[in-house]
Amino acid sequence: MKNEINIGLGLRRDIIEEFLDREVIQPDFIEFAPENWIGMGGYWGKKIRQAVEKYPVTCHGLSLSLGSPEELDYRFMKELKSFLDDNQVEIFSEHLSYTKCANAHLYDLLPIPFREDAVKHVVRRIREAQDFLERPIAIENVSYYTAVAAEMDEATFISSIVEESGCQLLLDVNNVYVNAFNHGYDAKEFIRQMPLDKVAYIHMAGHEKVSPDLIIDTHGEAIIDPVYQLFDYTASLMELVPVLLERDFNFPAAADLKREMNQLRKIATKHWRKVHVSQD
């Protein structure tokens, strides 16, 4: 991805044809989870190869489980590495969470205790994974619904890990909004505490309010205005990076996704136009 405004869209099986025919949506880049496609042949194997030929690619891992208290899974990392190499993946990101514990995968994002020993441990694992994969990893701030045995705040936890491991940050602005709402802190202040010079790219998404005081990060709704506003604020504080719209289910018409991407492009252009090398 060149030094220009890039608005991407998460590639999902249900809407893959819209990515391939490019009639309505023409994202600047795509993102998908390697776990959903590694070793996939046949019909879907063909589809993903077609998509990779058409677009620049970022990959967003699910199962590396950087926050696990146990060893990294080297057999899986080997497969992951060749997949990332084969598909010319430009940025690889993972969640700052754990999805595996006591030798069992859980397939969802559990919150790591915000503690000093966990910081050191995760830093070591990120370095180990970066060395093995021979590429930087961008770690994503995740939504969490309760902190577990916390001894520091989330912002300190994240920024310590980024600083000490030398990794990059995938800043999910919707997750910041969700966490600020659920845990009663100031979203803008949180953004200011992030190492914004280490951001590799930004995630934007919708969420669902399941009760008056709890939001779940579902990726099944449109982005709400306060999250656009938080993105606007974030972009004003930092340099140009790619921005990705995540939508995992409850897919709207392609035109609606396009509208959301246009809105993101408008905000990005407002702040980052000066470095935007226009092609038209």
Q: Which residues, 28 to 87, sit near other proteins by CB under 8 A?
A: 35-36, 38-46, 62-64, 67-70, 73, 76
Comparison of 27 and 34: residue with beta carbon closer to other proteins: 34
Closer of 20 and 196 to Fe ion (Cβ): 196
Q: Which of 124, 194, 203 is nearest to 166 (CA)?
A: 124
User: Residue 51 corresponds to which amino acid?
Assistant: A
Work out what residue 238 binds among Fe ion, other proteins, none; the CB cut-off runs from 5 to 8 Å by kind.
none
Task: Tell me, by CB under 8 A, how many residues bind other proteins.
Answer: 51
16 binds, among other proteins, Fe ion, none (CB under 5 to 8 A by kind): none
- Residue 37 Cβ, how far from other proteins at the closest point, in Å? 9
CA distances for 96 relative to 23, 166, 254, angstroms: 36, 14, 31
Q: Locate 207 and state its tokens.
A: 């969420």
172 binds, among Fe ion, other proteins, none (CB under 5 to 8 A by kind): Fe ion
Question: Min. distance of Cβ 277 from other proteins in angstroms?
Answer: 39
Fill in the amino acid letter for 236.
S
Token couple for 4: 């220009």
Nearest to 130 by CA among 97, 90, 167: 167
Contact region for other proteins (CB under 8 A) — 142-150, 199-207, 229-237, 253-261?
142-150
Q: Which of residues 199-218 bind other proteins (CB under 8 A)?
A: 210, 214, 216
Spatial CA neighbour of 8 closest among 184, 271, 257, 269: 257
Report the residue number, 59 or 261, with the smaller CB distance to other proteins.
59
Binding other proteins by CB under 8 A: which of 117, 186, 197, 239? 117
The three-state secondary structure class of 16 is helix
Residue 46 binds: one of other proteins, Fe ion, none (C-beta under 5 to 8 A by kind): other proteins
Strand-strand pairing, 137-140 and 89-95: parallel
- The CB-of-175 to other proteins minimum distance in angstroms stands at 14
The Cα–Cα gap between 245 and 264 comes to: 9
Q: Taking contact as CB under 8 A, which single stretch among the options 120-128, 131-139, 159-167, 229-237 is the one that binds other proteins?
A: 120-128
Dist CA 49 CA 39 (whole Å): 12
* HEC readout, 165-200: HCCEEEEEHHHHHHHHHHHCCCHHHHHHHCCHHHEE
**Phi, psi for residue 69 in degrees, rounded to 5:** -75, 0
Closest approach, Cβ 66 to Fe ion, in A, equals 15
Residues that bind other proteins (CB under 8 A): 35-36, 38-46, 62-64, 67-70, 73, 76, 98, 100-108, 110-113, 115, 117-118, 120-121, 124, 145-150, 182-183, 210, 214, 216
